[in-house]
Structure formats: C-alpha cells, structure tokens
Amino acid sequence: QSVLTQPPSTSESPGQRVTISCSGTSSNIGSNSVNWYQQLPGTAPKLLISGNTYRPSGVADRFSGSKSGTSASLAISGLRPDDEADYYCAAWDDSLNGLVFGGGTKLTVL
Amino acid sequence: QVHLVESGGGVVQPGRSLRLSCAASGFVFNNHAMHWVRQAPGKGLEWVAVISYDGSDKNYATSVRGRFTVSRDNAKNTVYLQMSSLRGEDTAVYYCARDRTLLSTVYSYGLDVWGQGATVTVSS
C-alpha cells in the first residue's frame, strides 16, 4: 500500500482533458513539493512536473500540476494516444525521512 | 549528453549479496544527490535510497534499511548500491536517478535524469 494515494486507472478520449489526483498527509504533500513522473511502457520514468507546478525543459505545456493542502493534481489537456502511460506522484516525507511515491495511475487514451 | 548507466544486475540466491553500479556522464556529478528507485515486476515505483552530493547524508527506505548500503565515488562519477541478505521481494528493476537540486540535502524537487535500469532477480 502506497503512502500517496492515486486512482489506479483513468481513461479519456483524444483531444480531451484529464486530471489525476494524488492524496497525501501533512508529513509529505502538506510539507514538501510534489513531483510527477510519466512512465511509458518498457521505459524509465521521466520527470514531468517538479516543485508542484514547474515543467522541466522539453515537457509540453499540455501538462500542468497543482497542489492544495495535502493533495495534488496533474492535468493533461489535448490528450494524444502517445500520452498512454503510467503516471506517478512523489514527495519527500519528513516523518519517514524518505521519498514516497503514489501507486501510479494508468492512463488510457481511448 | 547526460547519461546514467547501471550495471551489476543478475540472478542471485536468497540471502546472498549483490552490488549495483551507476556510472554518470555529461554533468558535474558531485553537484547532485543520487537516488536508487526500484520497480518490482508489474508494480509501481518504490524509492530505495539517496546519497547526498558529497556522500555525507544517506537515507534509506524502511524495507531495505540495515541490508542495503548506498555509496559514491565522486572521482569515478559512480554511485553504488550494495545489497545484502537479499530476499525474493527485492526482485525488481533498479534505477539510479539524479536529484534535480544542486549542492543540497533537500530532496524535494524531483529526479530529472534516470538510467535504463538493472534487473535483479532473487531466486533459488
């Protein structure tokens, strides 16, 4: 069972917008920044969102992040078939003194 | 080109040891903390350990504390994960990853460079 809670799966049609939620506690999301990762099938994860809202160089502006209290969200607009991937949230946990991940959300673009 | 290349994976019997290496290139290695993250077959990502840019600070997941040791050789641009008393549940792809932040022991801003992964299988 993961420390951060994400829905296991979600699906949406091409061109539409989807949001993926990530719920934590005061010791992780409530105290530290949230980062999001995209993992395409058979590949290493890729940093998608850093510091709650920052997009690293090369990440499309269709991806956006937000945080409020002990929850965070990743939004993807203008969905494309190649957005099909697993998406993970992560944050440092001050109580565990370690990095914690969500269980991952499998996005299907129908 | 910024690269991380893991090596040292393989099949090992329960209770035995294995050392993974991660060679870095294309960036100033001793400016960045380095993490190990693993992924069991068909499962999600699990953080394993972090070592600070100068090796002075190390943290471990509860599941590996006391069995795994992270270290680094900044002269060789390499980070290591020494794994001992291996168990079946340690079977996973092990990724090394660069912490995005420079010269800091605050590990909150993401892992921005990842290796291709090394497969470790613990089985008799």
C-alpha B2/C-alpha B94 separation (Å) is 19
B64 has pLDDT over 90: yes
pLDDT number for residue B69: 98
B114 and A33: CB-CB below 8 Å? Answer: no
- Contact (Cβ atoms closer than 8 angstroms) between residue B34 and residue B72: yes
pLDDT tens for each residue of B3-43:
999 999 999 999 999 999 999 999 999 999 999 999 999 99
A104 has pLDDT over 90: yes
B102 has pLDDT over 90: no
pLDDT number for residue B108: 82
Minimum distance, in Å, between the CA of residue B82 and any CA atom of chain A: 18
Mean pLDDT for chain A?
97
Give exposure, B67-100, as e/b (b: 16+ Cβ within 10 Å).
Answer: ebbbebeeeebbbbbebeebeeebbbbbbbbbbb
C-alpha A110/C-alpha A62 separation (Å) is 18
pLDDT tens for each residue of A58-98:
999 999 999 999 999 999 999 999 999 999 999 999 999 99
The band of B106, judged by pLDDT with boundaries at 50, 70 and 90, is: confident
Per-residue pLDDT, averaged over B91-117, amounts to 93
Q: Which of A2, A44, A104 sits opposite B114 (nearest CB)?
A: A44
Phi, psi of A88 (to 5 degrees): -125, 135
B108 and A44: CB-CB below 8 Å? Answer: no
Please report the sign of the dihedral spanned by the C-alpha atoms of residue B38, residue B86, residue A5, residue A93: negative
Chain B environment of A96 (Cβ under 8 Å): 62
Q: Does B76 touch chain A (CB under 8 A)?
A: no
Q: Per 3-state DSSP, what percentage of chain A is helix, strand, and coil (rounded to 5)?
A: 5, 50, 45
pLDDT number for residue B104: 84
**Listed residue (A45, A87, A95, A6) closest to B62, CA to CA:** A95
A50 and B100: CB-CB below 8 Å? Answer: yes
Closest residue in A to B35 (Cα) is: A99
pLDDT number for residue A85: 97
Q: How many CB atoms lie within 10 A of CB B14?
A: 12
Q: Which of A32, A99, A103 sits opposite B47 (nearest CB)?
A: A99
C-alpha B64/C-alpha A21 separation (Å) is 28
**Beta partners for residue A74, in sequence order:** A20, A65
Minimum distance, in Å, between the CA of residue A16 and any CA atom of chain B: 26
- Contact (Cβ atoms closer than 8 angstroms) between residue B27 and residue B120: no
Per-residue pLDDT, averaged over B48-60, amounts to 96
